[in-house]
Structure 1
Amino acid sequence: MQETAARNKRRVRGGVIAGLIILVLIIVGTSSFVVIQSGTVGVVSIFGAIKDAPLEKGLHFITPFITKVTKVDIKTQKVEAAPAAASRDLQMISSTIVVNYYVNDLSAPRLVSTVGLDYENKIIVPAIQEAVKAVAAQYSAEELITKRQLVSDGIKEQLKEKIGSYGLVIEIFNITNLEFSEAFNAAIEAKQTAQQAALKAQQDLNRIKIEAEQKVVNAQAQADATKAQAEAEAYAIEIIQKQLAQAEAYLEYQKIEKWDGKLPMVQGDSSPIIDMRGNTGTVTTAP
C-alpha cells in the first residue's frame, strides 16, 4: 500500500513537473518570435535600450524575456482639435481643426523612445493649439475670414515644424470651422448690409446714367434724322427749281422755233413801223 501511494505521488509530481516544463516551453516558444502586421512596425528594446532599426511586417525571431517589441501603427490616422485663440484685433475665435497624419516608420523608434505611444495627446493636439494661436494673432478677425487659405497654410506650416522632428507627417490639414463672438458676427452682418445698400445705389446710379446717355443718343439720332430730312427736301426743291428753269427755257426755245419772221405792226404818235418784208426795210412814222 505504501509503495503504491509513493508511486502515485511520484507520478503526480512527475506530471506536474512535465506540465511546468511544457508550459515553460510554450512561453519560451511564443516569446521567441513576433509577428508584425501590415501597417505597423516593431520597435525593439533590449534591457530597455531601444534599437534604431524597426521591425518591418512579417515573422521575426527574438530573444525571449530580454527583448521587448512595441508595435507602432504607421497607417494614416485622424485627429480633431478645437483650439481657441485671439485675433490681432483681440477678437476671440474658436475653431475646429482636422489633421490626417501618419508616423514615419524609420522614426518610430525615436518617437517611442522620446514620447511613447500617446503621441497624439502629448505632441499633436498641443502643437495644433500653439500653431492656431500663433497664426491667428497675425491677422484681424475679418482677415481670418477673407484670407482663410493663407491662415490655413500658415497653421499647417507651423504644425509641420512642431511635429516633424518626431517623425509625424501631415497628409491633410483642414480648418472645418471658425466661430466668432456674437458682437463680431453682428458687426459683420451690419457691414455686409451697408455694402449691399451701397452696391445697389451704385447700380441704380449706373442705370440712370446709362438711360440718360441713351436719351442723348436717341435725341442726337432724331436731330440727325431731321437734318437729313431737311437736306433731302432742300435738295429736292433745288432739283425741281432747276427742272422748272430748264422747262421755261425750253418753252422760249419752242416759241422761237415756231416764229414765222413777221413782226407785229405797232401804231402810235411817234412810234416807227418797221416793215421787213423786203430785202431792205423801210421805216415810216405813223401819223
Structure 2
Amino acid sequence: MPLPSQLKASVTITSVQIENIDFSNAYEKSVEDRMRAEVEVQTQLQNLEKERVSAQIAVTQAQAEADSQLARAIAEAESIRIKGNAEASAIKIRAEALAQNQNLVELTKAERWDGKLPTTMLPTGTIPFLEVQKK
C-alpha cells in the first residue's frame, strides 16, 4: 500500500537519549551470583575434563611401560631358550664326538695346556692331567 504524500519527507534523527534503567540491588546481585555460579560450573567442568585427560595419559603411559617390560621379558626368555638350545646341541655334538674318539679328551687337554707345570706339588700328589703310559 503506497504511503500518503505528506509522509514521504525524510526523517532526521538529531539525538538519541538513553534512559538509565536501574534495577534493584537485590536483582543485580542475583544476576551477578548466577553468572558467578555459571562460571564456577564451567571452571569445574574444565577441571574435570583436565583431570580425565591426565588420568588417560597416566593409564596410557602405564600400559606402554607394561607392554615394554613384557616385550623385554619375552625377548630375554627367547634369548635364553635359543642359547640353551644351542648349548644343548653343542653338548650333544661333543658327546657324540667323544663317543667316537676316546682320545678327544686328551687332545683337548693338550690344546689348552700352556706348557707350564705347577710350581707347588704335594709329595704324594701326582702331576695333574698328564698321563704317562709305559710301553
Q: Normalising by structure 1, what TM-score?
A: 0.30
Residue of structure 2 in register with 1:75 after alignment: 10
Q: Show the counterpart of 2:72.
A: 229
Change (3 A) 1:72 1:207: closer
The equivalent of 2:118 in structure 1 is none
2:51 is matched with 208
For structure 1, the 5+ residue unaligned runs are 1-52, 55-70, 83-95, 97-176, 261-287
Distance (Å, rounded) in 2 between the aligned partners of 1:180 and 1:258: 116
Q: Deviations over 1:160-207 (max 9, x none)?
A: xxxxxxxxxxxxxxxxx8845133332211111111111111111221
Q: Take 1:223 and 1:72, find their aligned partners in 2: how far apart are those partners?
A: 85
Give 1:245's match in structure 2, choosing from 85, 88, 94. 88
Letter in 1 for 2:13: K
The separation in 2 between residues aligned to 1:225 and 1:72, in whole angstroms, is 86
Q: Residue 37 of structure 2 is aligned with which of 194, 199, 223?
A: 194
Indicate the SS of the match to 2:48: helix
Letter in 1 for 2:44: A
RMSD: 3.1
Q: Structure 1 218/241 Cα, relative in aligned 2: closer, same or farther at 3 Å?
A: same
Secondary structure, counterpart of 1:75 in structure 2: coil
Alpha-carbon deviation of 1:76? 4.8
Larger RCO: 1 or 2 (CA < 8 Å, sep 6+): 1
Q: Say which SS state the counterpart of residue 224 (structure 1) adopts.
A: helix
2:116 aligned with 1:181: no
Q: What letter corresponds to residue 74 of structure 1 in structure 2?
A: A
- SS of 1:181's partner is coil
Following the alignment from structure 1 to structure 2, what is the Cα–Cα distance between the partners of residues 200 and 78?
46
TM-fit CA distance, 1:81: 6.5
Query: How many correspondences in the alignment?
Result: 99
Structure with bigger gyration radius:
1
2:41, 2:88 → 1: CA distance? Answer: 70
Distance 1:182 1:234 in 2: 79
Shift of 1:242: 0.6
Q: Higher strand proportion, which one? A: 1
Helix, strand or coil for the counterpart of 1:78?
A: coil
SS of residue in 2 equivalent to 1:77: coil
Structure 2 spans left out of the alignment, 5+ residues: 104-135
- Matches of 1:178 and 1:254 in 2, distance apart? 112
Deviations 1:216-259 (A, max 9, x none): 22111111111111111110110011100111122123224435
* TM-score, scaled to structure 2: 0.58
Name the CA shift for 1:243/1:224 in 2 (closer, same or farther; >3 Å): same
Identity %: 20
- CA distance in 2 between counterparts of 1:248 and 1:201 reads 69
